[in-house]
Amino acid sequence: MKHEQTTLASCDGFGSISSCSCGLYHIRLPGISVHLREKGFDRLVQMIFQAKENQDSYRINDAKLKKSHLKIVTN
């Protein structure tokens, strides 16, 4: 059986994600390829979204912390 792949997303010079007729999702990044079934792919997507949200929250909190620091300026 020949595997038919459909490209779902790609970024020139970075990688791609495709779905395969065998039921796997193929994630290709520089130096690594990951092959996941649908449930694993969905969990990976959720994990990446969660990481991005946490990163954004950290950046917001970090910016607030930096703004609240006392700065002493002398002439």
Do the domain assignments include residue 40?
yes
pLDDT, residue 63, reads 63
- Residues 47/60, Cβ–Cβ less than 8 Å: no
Span 19-43, pLDDT tens digits: 999 999 999 999 999 999 999 999 9
The answer as to whether 74 is a domain residue is no
Strand order in the sheet with 32-37: 5-11, 15-20, 24-29, 32-37
Q: Please report the pLDDT score of residue 38 as a whole number.
A: 96
- pLDDT, tens digit, for every residue of 47-59? 999 998 888 777 7
- The domain of 41 spans 5-68
Does residue 33 fall inside a structural domain?
Answer: yes
User: Model pTM?
Assistant: 0.70
